[in-house]
C-alpha cells in the first residue's frame, strides 16, 4: 500500500470512528438530560490539577449537590483512589494505550454509577491536551484546565481544546507569585480563539476562585435543564 493510500484509509477510519462516537455521545446526553444529571468533561495536560480541583469541588459542594466522577487514565488507579476518599461514587477507566476517552467507554462507566440520584457527573479525561478534544463524550459542558507553570502560550499551541470548551480554568494561581505568568494574556489568547469562553482563575490550594467555579456549575445546571 502506498503512503497516500495508507493516509486515505486512516482518514476514513477516523471519520468512521468519530461518527460512531457521535451517536453514542448523543445517547449519553439524552439519557443524562432525562435524569437532570449535568455531565462535565474536563480536559488538560498531565499534572494540571484536575483531580485536585475535583477533590476541592466535592468537598465544597458537600450536601448541596450529589456528584459522581468518571476518571480516565492510561495506567494506575491513583486518581480514582484519591477521589474515593471524598466519599463520592467514582468509576475508573484504565485505557491501556488509548490517549483519550471515547463515548463508548463513558457509557459503560455510567452504568456503574447511580445516575438517577446524581445532580452532576464530572469526567476527568486522560491527561492530554490534544487527542481528548476530538471526542464528544455527550457532555453538557466542556472545561479545559491550564496550570500556571505550563505557560500562557499553551492556549495558542494547543488550540482545539480551548476552541471547543465552555470554560477555561487557570489552575495553581497560588504559584503566580513565583512565576512569570500573565493571566490577562491567557484571557486574550483564549478569547481570540473562542469569544464565548468563560475564564476562571483558581487555586484549589488557597480556595481562590472556587466560589466562582461553583457558581458556574450551578448556572450550568439551570441552563442545561430549564
Contact residues: a second copy, CB under 8 A: 1, 3, 6, 9-10, 13, 16-17, 20, 45-47, 73-76, 78-79, 97, 99, 104, 126-131, 134, 147, 149-151, 153-154, 156-160, 172, 175, 178-179
In angstroms, what is the minimal distance from the CB of 9 to a second copy?
7
Q: Are strands 67-73 and 120-124 parallel, antiparallel or unpaired?
A: parallel
Which CB sits closer to a second copy, 60 or 130?
130
Q: Render the burial of 198-208: b for 16+ CB within 10 Å, e for the rest.
A: bbbbbbbeeee
Cell of 97: 494505550
Which CB sits closer to a second copy, 106 or 216?
106
DSSP 8-state secondary structure symbol assigned to residue 47: T
Where does residue 209 fall: left (phi above 0), alpha (psi -120 to 50 degrees), or beta otherwise? left
Which CB sits closer to a second copy, 73 or 166?
73
Cell of 159: 488550540
In angstroms, what is the minimal distance from the CB of 169 to a second copy?
15
Which CB sits closer to a second copy, 172 or 198?
172
124 burial (CB, 10 Å; 0-12 / 13-18 / 19+) is buried
Residues in the chain, total: 226
In angstroms, what is the minimal distance from the CB of 79 to a second copy?
8
Which CB sits closer to a second copy, 37 or 45?
45
Alpha-carbon span 77 to 11, nearest angstrom? 33
* Pair 138, 106: CB distance under 8 Å: yes
In angstroms, what is the minimal distance from the CB of 3 to a second copy?
7
In angstroms, what is the minimal distance from the CB of 73 to a second copy?
6
Amino acid at each position: 500500500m502506498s503512503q497516500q493510500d495508507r493516509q486515505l484509509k486512516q482518514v476514513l477510519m477516523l471519520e468512521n470512528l468519530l461518527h460512531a462516537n457521535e451517536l453514542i455521545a448523543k445517547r449519553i446526553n439524552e439519557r443524562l438530560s432525562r435524569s437532570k444529571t449535568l455531565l462535565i468533561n474536563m480536559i488538560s495536560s498531565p499534572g494540571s490539577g484536575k483531580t485536585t480541583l475535583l477533590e476541592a469541588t466535592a468537598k465544597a459542594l458537600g450536601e448541596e449537590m450529589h456528584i459522581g466522577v468518571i476518571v480516565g487514565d492510561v495506567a494506575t488507579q491513583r486518581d480514582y483512589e484519591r477521589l474515593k476518599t471524598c466519599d463520592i461514587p467514582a468509576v475508573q477507566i484504565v485505557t491501556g494505550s488509548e490517549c483519550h476517552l471515547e463515548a463508548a467507554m463513558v457509557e459503560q462507566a455510567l452504568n456503574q454509577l447511580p445516575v438517577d440520584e446524581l445532580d452532576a457527573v464530572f469526567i476527568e479525561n486522560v491527561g492530554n491536551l490534544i487527542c481528548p478534544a476530538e471526542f464528544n463524550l455527550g457532555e453538557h459542558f466542556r472545561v479545559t484546565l491550564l496550570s500556571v507553570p505550563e505557560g500562557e502560550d499553551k492556549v495558542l499551541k494547543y488550540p482545539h481544546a480551548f476552541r471547543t470548551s465552555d470554560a477555561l480554568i487557570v489552575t495553581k494561581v497560588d504559584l503566580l507569585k513565583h512565576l512569570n505568568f500573565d493571566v490577562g494574556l491567557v484571557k486574550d489568547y483564549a478569547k481570540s480563539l473562542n469569544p464565548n469562553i468563560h475564564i476562571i482563575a483558581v487555586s484549589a490550594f488557597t480556595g481562590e476562585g472556587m466560589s466562582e467555579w461553583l457558581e458556574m456549575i450551578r448556572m450550568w445546571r439551570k441552563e442545561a435543564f430549564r
